[in-house]
């Protein structure tokens, strides 16, 4: 009888450990898949046109404080690189040279 008691106990322990490992594996799989979904949702949220436009407008306003966009090469230069302004168009030194 003692042997019969030991045998089922070992089996129970092995089963419980296996089930725990299975639970851990399942939790990892669930968490990883959940993270993927969250990242996808975050990416979609960042691609919202409204948010992007407002951010770009803010960036342009800050940029215009001491920088300008050349009307010839369309690159953003510091005001120190402004060569001339013609008909409201700003020309950088590279394009004016």
Residues 67-86 contacting Zn ion, CB under 5 A? 70, 72-73
What CA–CA distances, in Å, run from 5 to 13, 14, 16?
Answer: 13, 15, 17
**Given the complex with Zn ion, which of 36 and 94 has the nearer CB atom?**
94
**Given the complex with Zn ion, which of 41 and 94 has the nearer CB atom?**
94
Does 90 bind Zn ion (CB under 5 A)? Our answer is: no
What CA–CA distances, in Å, run from 91 to 53, 59, 65?
Answer: 26, 21, 17
CA 85 to chain centre: 39
| Tokens standing for residue 38 | 């969250």
Q: Map residues 34-73 to x or -, x wherever contact with Zn ion holds by CB under 5 A.
A: ------------------------------------x-xx
Contact footprint for Zn ion (CB under 5 A):
70, 72-73, 92, 95
């Amino acid at each position: 009888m003692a042997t019969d008691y030991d045998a089922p106990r070992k089996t129970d322990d092995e089963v419980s450990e296996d089930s725990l490992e299975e639970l851990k594996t399942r939790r990892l799989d669930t968490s990883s898949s959940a993270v993927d979904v969250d990242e996808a949702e975050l990416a979609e949220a960042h691609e919202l046109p409204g948010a992007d436009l407002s951010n770009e407008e803010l960036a342009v306003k800050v940029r215009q404080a001491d920088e300008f966009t050349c009307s010839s090469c369309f690159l953003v230069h510091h005001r120190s690189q402004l060569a001339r302004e013609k008909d409201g168009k700003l020309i950088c030194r590279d394009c004016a040279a």
